[in-house]
Structure 1
Amino acid sequence: MSPPPPARTRRVDLVGLRRELPGDVSTALDDYQRHLAMERSLSPHTVRAYLADAVSLLVHLAGGTTGDATVEAIDLAGLRSWLAAQHGAGASRTTLARRTAAARTFTAWAARTGLLADDPGPRLVAPRPHRTLPAVLRADQAKAAMSVAEVSAEAGEPVALRDQAVVELLYATGVRVAELCGLDLGDVDYSQRVIRVLGKGRRERTVPFGVPAERAVRRWVEHGRSSLVSDRSQHALFVGARGGRLDPRTARRVVHDVVGAVPETADIGPHGLRHTAATHLLEGGADLRTVQELLGHATLATTQLYTHVTVERLKAIHDRTHPRS
């Protein structure tokens, strides 16, 4: 029997392994994928991650032999063995916690659909993830980054106009990059200066934005978008250079390039701008509930992470400026 594969098998390898699984297991994973996408309304990225974890678990329990994989083999000892292998390969506590959640989701579904006689998931204890403070920009750094994008857009080149609108809207609203790329023209209300966002779990929310973002989005729509739009993206607010809807990877590159042009800034992407927007809102006096609603967090506990960021900043300022710090 072959040894189990390394815990950090590349996702492309896991996709290949899925094709080699027995027919009944492959059918079960197809049903599970539909459950995650249609019933749970999870994002495509989350669905891929959960499926990859399920494949990894099944192949581990089969000793690395895909032909021997069965859903019925899942039990508490096997789940613990799989996580131990992940830990031995160097997976972080945060990664282990996420994979524990993915395993619980899979076993709960398998038990509910009759593939497992008993659900061992609730007895699987996950390590508590470390709550790390996210990297954020100072207000002056964020302003400088927006200025970089504005200067690049002065010549009126369509991609530069789009990139300015992207960074301005991300910072103004704190939306997720997938939410930004999913926006259509009709989701923008200029009279109220709000956007309608479809977030995780297909929860819809309305998020306001300011005058600089409105100006940048209008310039892009009126003077740049028509040069890039095609039949594949006729309703999309943001369009890629090849005419399709803007891809999140392109948006990430745009943010990295703009922020990277500002000296002494952290290397952040769209999620860093989301962190930055939340931090600046709290520093400006916004209450947690309001920030929770704007960011689309399901629980207040997630939003509370940003209070630690602002406290750390206050402490740093105090240590730097108070004569008896």
Structure 2
Amino acid sequence: MNIITTVVGSYPTHSFEAHTFNEKITESLGLFDSYKKSIIESVNAFVESDIDIICDGQVRGDMVKIFASKINGFKIEDNTSYIKGKITPAAHPISVKDFNLAFKTAKSLNKKFKLNASLEDIYNHEAKGVKGIITGPTTLIHSSIIENFYSNKENAIYDMAKALLVEAKELEKAGACAIQIDEPFISTGAEDINVSKMAVETISEELDIPVILHVCGDLKDVMSNLLKFNVDILDFEFSGMSQNIGTLKKEWKSNSSKQIGIGCVNTKMESVDNIEDVKQTVKDVTEIIKKDNIIIDPDCGMRMLESEISKGKLDILKEIKLEGI
């Protein structure tokens, strides 16, 4: 069995103040980036833990605000996003600059990091890659208050998908090895699953690189539908939501070509997982999907955890990759 590792997204972070003379000059010109060091710190942690597919750490804010603050049609007030007009693509790429910094940092630490790294080369341990991450259209709309223009969420979701496609294409052009779409709201049943499917596929069907759909939460009501989404990899929460293993077993078809990302460390738990528990989660899922190549990762992002705890969880993934299950 060939195991590779990835991260779901957010990593513990904080903004940095300008300290050096050059930083203070840059700050006086309005050009100082208080999050640049956080991206570098996140990438350092990922590379030290030998993660095969990394991201930029999503350090600039929560998963909604990062995109709602830039995409036309939104406004942010008191940490709440409002839809105030027709949703159209951001004037400039939202996350490409951070993607580029993440790649540059990773490459300086490990020469295996490559732009446009293929999943095959990553599985063969001939390359490592950086993925682009976007918050999904259903999640963005259901996390926002419609104030104007749209009479229903469905049309807003479709416009959101079109706007996010532009961002996904920019990340693909920049050299992302994959695009991950984060859709935690799908598991809640708040939206018609067919609307969410069409929105995700508006993005996935226009890209030439693998698309990962990350959905956390209890999947008993949506698993059968999710397995039909036109994406390459479905990434689910299994450690903190162990019932998803039984749901997968019930719905999985032996002839499915889908890859399953196995969330196997519990990101709700504020301590480092027991490695034997993590191994058991991976075993339980692999016995169902019977794949030679598997991806393991945390259940969800780790933004709310202490840095030491997050690093400990990543190191468990590294150990399992090296030792197997």
TM-score interval (norm. to shorter): under 0.3
TM-score, normalised to structure 2, is 0.22
Larger Rg: 1
Task: Kindly indicate which of the two structures has a greater share of residues assigned to strand.
Answer: 2
Task: Kindly indicate which of the two structures has a greater share of residues assigned to helix.
Answer: 1
Of structures 1 and 2, the one scoring higher in RCO (CA 8 A, sep 6+) is 2
